[in-house]
Structure 1
Amino acid sequence: MFYSRVTLSLVRAGLALIALPALVACGGGSDSNSDNKVDQGQTKLPTSVPDLNWLGESSAKLKKASSSEFSALLKNGAFLSRVPVNETDSSVPVNASPVSDGESSAGFSSTNVVEAGVDEGDRIEYDGNYLYIAAHSEQELSQNAVFRQYVRVMKRTDQGIEEVAQIEASDSLYSHQDLYLHEGRLASVFKYPVLTLDTPSDSNDIASTSPSTNTFSNTFELSFADVSSPEQPQVINQYRIDGNILDSRVIGNELYVISQYHAAFDTDETDELAIYQAIYQANVSDLIPKIKDLNSGEASPLFDASACYIPTDATELDSANIVTTITKISMQNPTSIESTCINAPSDGVYASQESIYLHKRLWPSDVSSFNDLSQTVLHKFSLNDGEVAYSASGAVEGTLGFGGNLIGMIEPIFVANVSNAAFRLSEYGSQLRVVTTRFSESKGMVHQLFVLQQQGTELEELARLPNEAHPTPIGKVESNGMVEENIYAVRFMGERAYVVTFRQIDPLYVLDLSKADEPIMAGALEIPGYSAYLHPVSDDLLIGVGQNVEDFPFNASDDSSTDIEPTFGAKVSLFDVSNMASPSLIKEHVFAGGYSPVEFDHHAFSYLKASDQTFRMTLPVESWEVTIQNDNTSTWGNKNELAAFEVSTEGSGSLTYIGSSVATYDEPSQSVPYVRAADDRGVIHGDTIYYVHGNFVWSSLWQSPDVNTGPF
């Protein structure tokens, strides 16, 4: 597949096409979404269909478009996406920092995030007295035929914790609910439709008896509840928005939601010219995603056509039907909604306190090559007093993540997404640091660090690593001269970057970024296994969470002189990085046969500074084991636990495993639903630990995590 501008031939049997101006919007009037004047007799309907192009993904800068320019580009895209491609046409439309410590100053842990001051949605929120848990019926002990999701409001007590209220913020069916808590407001972000026996509708129809998907597929919902009195919560605003959510953040008092929408036009017409004329006459607002106020039932366009950006290289014959939208909503006044649209696709989001970056992988040319020619395009939007404004664009070689099986590499099954893309970017001062990966037929995996500096509206390369002066690759070079290790973790900390690569061993690389225009690889450490998540404790100490993999079975030697089996399992490591040139391992702890969700979701990691020299942390671990019964039969079961560790910065540093709070039930095992550990969370409040597994909570003291009470 190639990412480039391609021309889609619209020649059909006996139909001669003449290149006419595309769907030009001749806007005017008070409604900037009302862009054509066909009804007013000022514009003639086109008599043929022009030869349109799909606007190829490129690294072009963006420009603020007029309503007419945006309308033309979007309508062209809606037309091409509506007309079937001729079977003989093989063209494919291509447009179809500073570290966070995850703690608060109030003596309890908070959501672990990529950047300090930039909150991320998670399934729990805690304010020191009340714990909010995103729950759903499939995790209840008594199963309900009708799927529902809700928020449990739990109050801290002397005996542990108790439920004082529930918040049902959506009647629709979404499997995932992210929460944000900010000054007496609880925001719920609902995404991903589910398969259920119940079919919801605006008219509260009776549930169906056959499985069906969410009636509102390709949508997401936002709900805002007043929790200033947590035991009497009140849902005050609810919205349903067309499209699919990419990500969200809370910065200051604003919730920023980044979503993507594919514009489409429905018509009963079958003749191409008739379809084209129908779209030509349509109001562009009919092609714009809608936001529906679920309280009033009113729906309106998510943005105004005059509030959009388009690529500077777009022409009147280009077409693009994918729209990325940055929607800003006040947490205190959720009726205050502003949206900025970009008529281009995006893969993901990185945000600092000052900027939002949209990133997109693209293949820049039609050149056939065994080498990976992909690039990552970045669009920067500045947040000035909360206002979203386009700032600059740029591109770097490679992508923000590279999975799959290449040259014999097989990824560990527990890591679904190798290296979280958000951790591969870091805005530091006026620079943006980016770590990318691509494949080279002669070099194998090519991992690079780029330092970008904004110059006008360009994100220009200031430096890269490796380079001519420092050519050492990031990743171990094998005997065949190739790097076969993928990146499993990246973490920036001030003027340093830590990178973990892995195939058979775990090289931890320390990059010195103190000279932005001359980054260097300061040192490296090789140990078995890998870290998939890195968490800085101080300038001298670094935590790693990953897997202990001495050697994969397919890489194991044929040496029969030993019967020792390799130990697989979740691993927590403490590294000494005080000397960048010589990082070392202080201590590690392995949970045999287990894995931790922290390996692929940093929100599962909780962290709290207990004193000037002592830090506490928790992480969930799930392991599977076989139990032999008295009759020699065996049962296969899982163990879910929240492991507690203490890190001391005194002397050369130390790591101590305190113990684990294990999720157990009084109910018969057959009535307890399986709950995946991916959603497990921990809260540390002083000497108290709360372990959230499924819908329930277990409470224990820090000094003895294994002695717990619950489930609550």
Structure 2
Amino acid sequence: LDGTRLLVVTQPWSGAEDTVVSLYDVADAASPALLRRSHLEGRLVASRSIDGEARLVLTSTLANRLPFVFPDRFGLNEQLALDANKAVINESTIDAWLPRYFDESGDGAFGALSASLDCSKVAAPRDFAGLGISWIASIDLHGDTGPVGAAGIVSYGDTVYASPTSIYLATVPWDWNNDSGPYTQPPTLIHQFALGDGGSASYTASGEVNGQLLNQFAMSEYEGDLRVATTLNDWNTGASESFVQVLRPEGNELVQIGKVGGLGLTEQIYAVRFLGTQAYVVTFRQTDPLYVVDLADPTNPRVTGELKIPGYSAYLHPVGDGLLLGVGQSADLDGFTTGTQLSLFDVTDPANPQLISSLPIGGSSEAEWDHHAFLYWPEDGTIVLPVSPWWGGCGPNVRCLSDGVTSPAGGVVVAQLQGRELVGRGTIQHEDTSSSGCWNPLQRSMVIGSEIVTIGYDQVQFTDRASLTKRDSASWGNPDQYGCYYYYPVG
């Protein structure tokens, strides 16, 4: 949403290579007007909106268009298949390799199929990373033109991080034909695109780091350098080690200028947050070490502090005044998780991070793996997160049936940061409008004025923020009409 323009991005199903972008004028909220709709060939990897310009990153598996063959037991051996596929490539035209798009009118009529971007805007990486193209589509939310293919690279895309001036695309170049001996985990390739005016973008540089990224929070640009947190697994011995590495653009390469390792030996990264010259890294296997990494000198990053507690945080959110809020799971001393927990850390002293407050909730929360499900309202310290009772058992804020079996009703837990203490305030649940026994979780929340707005699959509810009493709600569709199939948010 930018002013009176609303961009809606949808896909027919998760992973579908048909990304639909619809731009609406919502000046009249009671009657939104569709301005244009386009179908982009590709799976949506991520989307960002910067100063009225939306940038979508998509991956298109273009090899599906070509009649490639595979070795089989009926006479087509590996060499014959290789020769046939080389012939397919040699006889193909550029149109077979570029992602496409078409427009859809308001009455559902489809326009002509066209290439989404010019071949001159597609870069080829040094290392093979898949027979697909990852590309950036730019959309001017206040202009009269449709999506513009800004730049691309011959590579699949897994993780996207965006700064105000760059987009970074990370991917793992899986080697399916490694028969040279014990299998080692491949590095992660990172491609940088510079963002320009008018929706333009251009490929800048590529580099690599040891190990794999957790998510977008594992990357951070600071003063032109890219900081990256990864976990490297040795799949032959089961050993693992985590790193924070610093890359700097030099020509068309992202060159490593600094690195610190030894974090979470035998563990995996569960959460990362970069704040200024500090990085906060959570690893977990049985306990939750929270590492503080000093990046003031990017050529010499170093661990300055460590805190070990049971459980883990899967999402870290700054809440001001040297405080860091964690959303994750509590655990016993053997490492078995016992339910969702909020944790408040004092990281004022980088050498001595402290857990100063915790709030056990129970169940599990989508906020652990999707930060869009988490809400923090700094005006009064309100915290809202969805909780499911299906995993992690019952808890003080998760309803249970009398026999101890968890209730299938989904809801959100409302907590509050009061000074340096986490306080539970209550829960918000939607009325079950279904008779089919479907589980209808609440997935998103926001604050509008004095109300908390919660959004589920088939209902939106307005709840007074002070008293947590329901004020109003609205439903759409019939949840029984389609069984238990619903649309998932893509962001």
Superposition TM-score, scaled by structure 1 size = 0.58
Tell me, in whole angstroms, the C-alpha distance in 2 between the residues paired with 1:453 and 1:279. Answer: 36
SS in 1 for 2:213: coil
- The answer to whether structure 1 residue 393 and structure 2 residue 203 are counterparts is no
1:146 alignment partner in structure 2: none
1:456 alignment partner in structure 2: 251
1:292 alignment partner in structure 2: 102
Give the letter aligned to residue 301 of structure 1.
Answer: A
Q: Which has the larger radius of gyration?
A: 1
2:485 alignment partner in structure 1: none
Structure 1, unaligned stretches of length 5 or more? 1-180, 195-213, 402-420, 467-472, 476-482, 557-566
Work out whether residues 285 and 305 of structure 1, in 8 Å CA contact, stay in contact via their aligned partners in 2: no
Work out whether residues 68 and 88 of structure 2, in 8 Å CA contact, stay in contact via their aligned partners in 1: no
The structure 2 residue matched to 1:687, chosen from 443, 450, 466, is: 450
1:601 alignment partner in structure 2: 370
What is the deviation of 1:590?
Answer: 0.7
CA offsets 1:255-283 (integer angstroms, 9 cap, x no match): 21222222345679999999977865654
Q: CA 1:334/1:279 → structure 2, altered by over 3 Å: closer, same or farther?
A: farther
1:330 alignment partner in structure 2: 140
Q: CA 1:366/1:278 → structure 2, altered by over 3 Å: closer, same or farther?
A: closer
Work out whether residues 263 and 288 of structure 1, in 8 Å CA contact, stay in contact via their aligned partners in 2: no
The structure 2 residue matched to 1:235, chosen from 19, 26, 34, is: 34
Q: CA 1:656/1:687 → structure 2, altered by over 3 Å: closer, same or farther?
A: farther
Tell me, in whole angstroms, the C-alpha distance in 2 between the residues paired with 1:598 and 1:274. Answer: 48
2:63 alignment partner in structure 1: 263
- The answer to whether structure 1 residue 223 and structure 2 residue 22 are counterparts is yes
1:423 alignment partner in structure 2: 217
2:156 alignment partner in structure 1: 345
Give the letter aligned to residue 602 of structure 1.
Answer: H
What is the deviation of 1:589?
Answer: 0.8
1:513 alignment partner in structure 2: 295
Give the letter aligned to residue 251 of structure 1.
Answer: I
What is the deviation of 1:293?
Answer: 1.0
Work out whether residues 50 and 164 of structure 2, in 8 Å CA contact, stay in contact via their aligned partners in 1: yes
Tell me, in whole angstroms, the C-alpha distance in 1 between the residues paired with 2:6 and 2:319. Answer: 30
Tell me, in whole angstroms, the C-alpha distance in 2 between the residues paired with 1:281 and 1:511. Answer: 53
Work out whether residues 263 and 289 of structure 1, in 8 Å CA contact, stay in contact via their aligned partners in 2: no
Tell me, in whole angstroms, the C-alpha distance in 2 between the residues paired with 1:268 and 1:362. Answer: 20
Q: CA 1:341/1:445 → structure 2, altered by over 3 Å: closer, same or farther?
A: same
CA offsets 1:195-244 (integer angstroms, 9 cap, x no match): xxxxxxxxxxxxxxxxxxx9xx5322111111121211111211112232
Work out whether residues 241 and 268 of structure 2, in 8 Å CA contact, stay in contact via their aligned partners in 1: no
The more displaced of 521-530 and 291-300 is 291-300
Q: CA 1:334/1:439 → structure 2, altered by over 3 Å: closer, same or farther?
A: farther
Q: CA 1:334/1:654 → structure 2, altered by over 3 Å: closer, same or farther?
A: farther
1:670 alignment partner in structure 2: 435
The structure 2 residue matched to 1:305, chosen from 82, 107, 119, is: 119
What is the deviation of 1:603?
Answer: 0.5
The structure 2 residue matched to 1:544, chosen from 318, 321, 326, is: 326
Tell me, in whole angstroms, the C-alpha distance in 2 between the residues paired with 1:342 and 1:515. Answer: 32
Q: CA 1:284/1:615 → structure 2, altered by over 3 Å: closer, same or farther?
A: same
SS in 2 for 1:263: helix
CA RMSD for the aligned pairs?
A: 3.1
Q: CA 1:697/1:337 → structure 2, altered by over 3 Å: closer, same or farther?
A: closer
CA offsets 1:577-614 (integer angstroms, 9 cap, x no match): 1111111111111113x11111111001112221xxx5
Tell me, in whole angstroms, the C-alpha distance in 2 between the residues paired with 1:431 and 1:515. Answer: 11
CA offsets 1:39-69 (integer angstroms, 9 cap, x no match): xxxxxxxxxxxxxxxxxxxxxxxxxxxxxxx
Tell me, in whole angstroms, the C-alpha distance in 2 between the residues paired with 1:276 and 1:443. Answer: 39
1:447 alignment partner in structure 2: 242
What is the deviation of 1:360?
Answer: 1.4
Work out whether residues 310 and 343 of structure 1, in 8 Å CA contact, stay in contact via their aligned partners in 2: yes
Tell me, in whole angstroms, the C-alpha distance in 2 between the residues paired with 1:268 and 1:658. Answer: 59
SS in 2 for 1:306: helix
Tell me, in whole angstroms, the C-alpha distance in 2 between the residues paired with 1:260 and 1:429. Answer: 29
The structure 1 residue matched to 2:347, chosen from 571, 577, 589, is: 577
Superposition TM-score, scaled by structure 2 size = 0.82
- The answer to whether structure 1 residue 523 and structure 2 residue 286 are counterparts is no
Count how many residue pairs are aligned between Structure 1 and Structure 2.
447
Give the letter aligned to residue 641 of structure 1.
Answer: G
Tell me, in whole angstroms, the C-alpha distance in 2 between the residues paired with 1:535 and 1:525. Answer: 17
Runs (4+) of structure 1 exceeding 6 A deviation are 267-279
The structure 2 residue matched to 1:616, chosen from 382, 385, 401, is: 382
- The answer to whether structure 1 residue 703 and structure 2 residue 473 are counterparts is no
The structure 2 residue matched to 1:658, chosen from 406, 425, 432, is: 425
Work out whether residues 664 and 711 of structure 1, in 8 Å CA contact, stay in contact via their aligned partners in 2: no
Structure 2 matches for 1:561-572, cutoff 5 A? Answer: 568-572=338-342
Tell me, in whole angstroms, the C-alpha distance in 2 between the residues paired with 1:384 and 1:432. Answer: 19
1:627 alignment partner in structure 2: 401
Give the letter aligned to residue 605 of structure 1.
Answer: F
2:409 alignment partner in structure 1: 639
Tell me, in whole angstroms, the C-alpha distance in 1 between the residues paired with 2:288 and 2:131. Answer: 43
SS in 2 for 1:362: coil
Tell me, in whole angstroms, the C-alpha distance in 1 between the residues paired with 2:117 and 2:203. Answer: 16
Tell me, in whole angstroms, the C-alpha distance in 1 between the residues paired with 2:410 and 2:297. Answer: 45
Structure 2 matches for 1:113-512, cutoff 5 A? Answer: 181-193=1-13, 218-261=17-60, 262-265=62-65, 283-295=93-105, 297-311=111-125, 321-333=131-143, 335-339=145-149, 340-362=151-173, 366=178, 368=180, 370=182, 372-385=184-197, 386-401=199-214, 421-440=215-234, 444-466=239-261, 473-475=262-264, 483-512=265-294
SS in 1 for 2:326: strand
Q: CA 1:595/1:363 → structure 2, altered by over 3 Å: closer, same or farther?
A: closer
SS in 2 for 1:453: strand
Q: CA 1:299/1:568 → structure 2, altered by over 3 Å: closer, same or farther?
A: same
SS in 1 for 2:435: helix
Tell me, in whole angstroms, the C-alpha distance in 1 between the residues paired with 2:90 and 2:182. Answer: 42
Tell me, in whole angstroms, the C-alpha distance in 1 between the residues paired with 2:219 and 2:462. Answer: 37
Tell me, in whole angstroms, the C-alpha distance in 2 between the residues paired with 1:268 and 1:656. Answer: 59
Q: CA 1:232/1:457 → structure 2, altered by over 3 Å: closer, same or farther?
A: same
What is the deviation of 1:429?
Answer: 1.1
Q: CA 1:626/1:544 → structure 2, altered by over 3 Å: closer, same or farther?
A: closer
Q: CA 1:183/1:463 → structure 2, altered by over 3 Å: closer, same or farther?
A: same
Q: CA 1:376/1:320 → structure 2, altered by over 3 Å: closer, same or farther?
A: closer
